[in-house]
Amino acid sequence: MTRRYWNINLEEMMESGVHFGHGTRKWNPKMGPYISAKRKGIHITNLTRTARFLSEACDLVFDAASRGKQFLIVGTKNKAADSVAWAAIRARCHYVNKKWLGGMLTNWSTTETRLHKFRDLRMEQKTGRLNRLPKRDAAMFKRQLSRLQTYLGGIKYMTGLPDIVIIVDQHEEYTALRECITLGIPTICLIDTNCDPDLADISIPANDDAISSIRLILNKLVFAICEGRSSYIRNP
């Protein structure tokens, strides 16, 4: 895999608060090598390590995108949800930003059935068929459609398991991470000082609570994916 320059700037990361970890009482000892200091009861992440692993992640997604691979971005907590949706739409990736439904990947056949139902209901709504049903039935189907849109809207065009999964907040998305590990799907995970850096294929030590930090990390990955997709279009 070729190494590239991704304009990862330490000053920019500091301005976005990427270096702020959790309180020193809430930490995983495995994160020791990624912590540079303690300040006012908070661990400070070593941004040089962050830059290194973010650069590796950008290389990985660029290479995968240049070969037409598919990505899934997962981040369901409130602070991450909007950034995840924006990043995924910009890079033409699938995403989950509301709630991870257990078995979404490991029980793909059930997810596929739900997606087929979702697509059918969307088509019936577009053609106006739902409005021609009795009021009670129409209301029931519309509630069902709304629920499916909330939980599956970001993966409505997904036709198979993703090739790479990008996860924001290891603790929050632990179920998704375990499913990827079970299936052998490569993962890139944004990890704070309370996480286990050994679980993901590439762990990026960074503040997973600040919107600005999450957005910066996703921006870099999205840019690399878009560059890779451009390369794939030029050299199919």
- Taking only the tens place, the pLDDT of each residue in 164-174 is 999 999 999 99
Q: What is the mean pLDDT of residues 22-42?
A: 88
Give Cα 129 to chain centroid, integer Å: 35
* Mean pLDDT of the chain, nearest integer: 91
Reply yes or no on whether the pLDDT at 140 is more than 70: yes
C-alpha Rg value of the chain to the nearest Å: 19
Query: Residue 139: its pLDDT value, please?
Result: 81
Round to whole Å and give the CA distance between 32 and 194.
10
Q: Is the pLDDT of residue 1 over 60?
A: no
- Per-residue pLDDT tens over the stretch 47-70: 999 999 999 999 999 999 999 999
Average pLDDT over residues 84-102: 96
Cβ–Cβ < 8 Å for 207, 17 = yes
pLDDT at position 136 is 79
* Choice among 4-18, 41-55, 68-82, 198-212 with the minimum mean pLDDT: 4-18
pLDDT of the residue at 135: 75
Percentage of the chain exceeding pLDDT 90:
75
> What residue segments make up the domains of the chain, in order of their start?
15-105+163-234, 108-153
* Fold designation for 15-105+163-234: Rossmann fold (3.40.50)
Can you tell me whether residue 170 is helix, strand or coil?
coil
* Residue matched to tokens 């995403």: 95
pLDDT at 61: 96
State CA 198 to chain mean position distance. 18
Range list of H helices, the chain: 10-15, 47-65, 78-90, 108-126, 135-152, 174-183, 211-234
pLDDT at 86: 96
Closest to 48 measured CA to CA, from 204, 234, 218: 204
Determine the pLDDT at residue 124: 81
* Beta bridge partner(s), residue 39: 42
The least confident of 30-39, 131-140, 143-152 is 131-140
- Judged by DSSP in three states, 73 sits in strand
Residue 28, pLDDT > 80, answer yes
**Domain 108-153: homologous superfamily in CATH:** Helix hairpin bin (1.10.287.610)
Task: Give 67 or 136, the one with higher predicted confidence.
Answer: 67
b/e per residue 43-63 (b: at least 16 CB within 10 A): bebbbebbbebbbbbbbbbbb
Task: State the pLDDT at residue 121.
Answer: 86
* Sheet (strand 20-23) strand order: 20-23, 42-45, 35-39
Q: Look at residue 186 and tell me whether its pLDDT is greater than 60.
A: yes
Structure-block tokens of residue 38:
């303690």
